[in-house]
Structure 1
Amino acid sequence: MDGFKRLVSITFLLALVVIALGAYTRLTEAGLGCPDWPGCYGFAGVPETAADQQLAQVRFPDAPIDLARAWNEMIHRYVAGTLGLLILAINIMAWRQPGLPRRLPAMLLVLVVFQAVLGMWTVTMALMPVVVMGHLLGGFTTASLLLLLRLRLAPRSVPSMLSASAPGKGLQLLAALGLVIVVGQVALGGWTAANYAAVVCTQLPFCEVDWQQQFDVTAFRLIQPEHDSYQYGVLDYAQRVSIHVAHRIGAVVTAAVLLLLAAGLWRRPSLRRWSVALVAVLGLQVALGITNVVASLPLAVAVAHNVTGLALVLLLVAANYQLYRMGSRWSLRASWPRPVGTIGRRG
Structure 2
Amino acid sequence: MQNNKPLIIFTLILALGVISLGAFTRLTDAGLGCPDWPGCYGLIDVPQTETQIAKAEMAFPERPVEPAKAWNEMIHRYFAGTLGLLIGLIFILSFKNRDQGGPLYLPLLMLGVVIFQAALGAWTVTLKLMPIIVMGHLLGGFLTLCLLYLLLLRVSKVNDRSMDASLTRYTPFAFIGIVILTLQIALGGWTSSNYAALVCQELPVCHDGWMTQLTFSESFQLIPPERETYEFGHLGAAERITIHAMHRIGAMITLIYLAWLALTLFFKARSAGLKKSAAVMGLILIIQVALGVSNVVFSLPLAVAVAHNVVAALLMLALITITYSLKSRPENAYV
Structure 2 length-normalised TM: 0.94
Distance 2:44 2:189 in 1: 29
Unaligned runs of 5+ in 2: none
Change in CA separation of 1:51 and 1:242 when aligned onto 2, cut-off 3 Å: same
**Is 1:103 equivalent to 2:105 in the alignment?**
yes
- Match in the other structure for 1:293: 296
Q: 1:191-202 alignment to 2 at 5 Å?
A: 191-202=190-201
Paired residue total: 327
Cα deviations by residue, 1:217-264 (Å, 9 ceiling, x for unpaired): 120111111111111111000000000110010011001110110122
* Contact 1:9/1:150 (<8 A) preserved: yes
* Pair 1:318-2:317 in alignment: no
Equivalent position of 1:113 in the other structure: 115
* Corresponding position of 2:21: 21
Rounded to whole Å, the distance in 2 between the matches of 1:278 and 1:166 is 20
Q: Specify the alignment match of 2:140 in structure 1.
A: 138
Deviations 1:14-45 (A, max 9, x none): 10110000000000111000000001011121
Query: Which deviates further from its counterpart, 166-175 or 123-132?
Result: 166-175
Cα distance in 2, alignment partners of residues 138 and 81 from structure 1: 14
Tell me: CA distance 1:152–1:211, structure 2 relative to 1, closer, same or farther (3 Å).
same
User: C-alpha separation between the residues in 2 aligned to 1:111 and 1:31?
Assistant: 21
Give the Å deviation of 1:158. Answer: 10
CA contact (8 A) 1:165 1:330 kept: no
* Residues in 2 aligned to 1:310 and 1:331: alpha-carbon distance in whole angstroms: 28
Q: For residues 331 and 2 of structure 1, what CA distance do their matches in structure 2 show? A: 14
- Aligned partner of 2:229 in structure 1 is 229
Give the SS at the match of 2:38: coil
| Residue 274 of structure 1, CA deviation | 1.7
Give unpaired runs (5+ residues) of structure 1.
333-347
Partner of 2:281: 278
Partner of 2:238: 238
2 CA distance for matches of 1:158 and 1:144?
20
Q: CA deviation at 1:71?
A: 0.5
Percent of aligned pairs sharing the same letter:
50
Aligned-pair CA distance for 1:171: 1.0
Q: Secondary structure at the match of 1:181?
A: helix
Which sits farther off after the overlay, 270-279 or 148-157? Answer: 148-157
- Per-residue displacement from partner, 1:270-307 (whole Å, max 9, x unpaired)? 22212211111010000000010111100000000000
Deviation of 1:329 after TM superposition, in Å, equals 4.3
Deviation at 1:331, TM superposition (A): 12
Q: Tell me the residue number matched to 2:261.
A: 261
8 Å Cα contact 2:167-2:269 kept in structure 1: no
Checking the alignment, whether the CA contact within 8 Å between 1:202 and 1:294 is kept in structure 2 is yes
The one-letter code of the counterpart of 2:163 is A
| Runs of at least 4 residues off by over 3 Å | 155-159, 167-170, 329-332
For 1:44, the equivalent position in structure 2 comes to 44
Deviations 1:293-323 (CA, angstroms, capped at 9, x unpaired): 1111000000000000111111111111111
CA contact (8 A) 2:2 2:156 kept: no
Shift of 1:167: 3.7
Is contact 1:104-1:149 (8 Å) kept? yes
Taking the TM superposition and a 5 Å limit, the aligned residue runs for 1:52-71 are: 52-71=52-71
Cα root mean square deviation, aligned: 1.7
